[in-house]
Amino acid sequence: MNKPQNSANTRRKIFFINLLPIILITLNLRAPITSIAPVVDSVREYYALNAALAGLLTSLPLLAFGLVSFVVSYFQPVRAMFVGLLCILLGEIVRCVGGSAELFIGTAIMGSGIAVANVLLPSLVKAKFPRQIPKIMGIYSLVLNFSAMLGVLLILPLMGLLPVPLALSSWAILAVAAIASYLPQMSNHRISRPKLKSTAKGTLFANANAWKITLFMGITSAIAYSFFAWYPSFLISFGFSAHFASQMMILAHCILVPVAFFAPLMLGVLPNARRIYLIIFICGTYIVCFALLLLSQQAWVALIVSVLIGVPVGGVFGIALLFISTKSSNVQTATKLSAMAQGVGYLIAALSPVVIGKIYDHFHSFTYALVGLLGLAILLNCVGYLAYKSPQI
């Protein structure tokens, strides 16, 4: 009589052991980056940076994401994930021990560690929860965007309590928690096992369908990180206070967090013929938001945009991750596709905050940057349709 109950308890325990590190690792992936935007002026003043260098501070992790992502799939995944978590922790420590050089070096190390986790988490989900991919990807996307919101919510109080370097490096606590939760995954000598040979034939760089998903990831990352890095500055340049801009950023995150959870779930339960309508709706909201900001810069427009923009920022990245998991025929392909999509995608995304900073330095206005983001939003919809229609790789 007790065997079914013991079996159920064992399954729940294994589920929790596998889910907890996914949650805690994901918490590390956005907060250290998004926390820069609300305090970018304070960071610029403390380290004597211009706007382009401040944009580079956000782009540097993305550049690391792109460069490191290409090589992650060549290493044993359990070992690579552990090394990645150590890099996140080390980078956070280095960021608080010196001046601007240490700030950028620590950010690069931290970004490299985050890159490893970015690549391996979708394939980890596919390996641990093969029958629950939409549900777990929904949780993953929810926590990912909650991490982004956490950075925005906590950085201002932290800056009030701590010196700038310590405030920026306070996320090391999350890295320690993630490492502790990951230790059970390294039991039974998993960390010393050789990497399994991939059953995939050829290179994904010659696969047109892989490129559709890769471009979708790149465009959505470029838009999202431009939002994280510069949206408060957009609003401040329109004449609003820093407090108002921070509140609008928080409002956007309050919308994007639940959207990040429900978008993959809804895609999982909708019939195939109707999924494309949800994708178009989520991606199309970007077009509406940037068009509104170009047409009017009144407070009520900023309020509407701050609500609406949470839909694509929260939903589109989850769609990209779901594409990686569901369009891959096996775990090895998922790792390779994740490495390609995030490697190329983040290299594309790394340019956007710096380009926006350069545009502002030259024109002293964000109008041209908004026009560029509107163009990217239109392109995102086209590529998203093609990625959705592509067959399994």
CB of 52 closer than 8 Å to CB of 233: no
Q: What is the pLDDT of residue 115?
A: 86
**Which of 158-172, 188-202, 310-324, 326-340 is the least confident region?**
188-202
Q: Residue 315 has what DSSP assignment?
A: H
Q: Which has more pLDDT, 7 or 217?
A: 217
Over range 172-195, report the average pLDDT. Answer: 77
Q: What is the pLDDT of residue 191?
A: 53
CB of 263 closer than 8 Å to CB of 312: no
120 pLDDT above the threshold of 60:
yes
Place of tokens 């609500």: 307
| Max mean pLDDT range (260-264, 270-274, 285-289, 342-346) | 285-289
Question: φ and ψ at 169, to 5 degrees?
Answer: -105, 5
The fold adopted by the segment(s) 2-389 is Growth Hormone; Chain: A; (1.20.1250)
How far apart (Å, rounded) are the C-alpha atoms in residues 120 and 28?
A: 14
Task: Report the percentage of the chain scoring pLDDT > 70.
Answer: 94
63 pLDDT above the threshold of 60:
yes
Give the total residue count for the chain: 393
How far apart (Å, rounded) are the C-alpha atoms in residues 362 and 47?
A: 21
CB of 228 closer than 8 Å to CB of 34: yes
Over range 254-263, report the average pLDDT. Answer: 83
Q: What is the pLDDT of residue 198?
A: 52
Give the residue extent of every domain in the chain.
2-389
How far apart (Å, rounded) are the C-alpha atoms in residues 240 and 54?
A: 21
Over range 180-203, report the average pLDDT. Answer: 64
The verdict on pTM exceeding 0.85 is: no
Q: Taking all residues of the chain, what is their mean pLDDT, rounded to a whole number?
A: 83
Q: Which has more pLDDT, 291 or 40?
A: 291
26 pLDDT above the threshold of 90:
yes
- Angle in degrees, CA 349, 351, 356, rounded to 5: 110
Per-residue pLDDT tens over the stretch 313-343:
888 887 887 788 778 777 778 778 888 887 8
CB of 341 closer than 8 Å to CB of 325: no
Q: What is the pLDDT of residue 265?
A: 78
Q: Please give the structure tokens belonging to residue 201.
A: 């034939």
Q: What is the pLDDT of residue 254?
A: 85
Contacts of 143 (CB under 8 A, 6+ apart): 22, 23, 26, 27
Over range 204-231, report the average pLDDT. Answer: 86
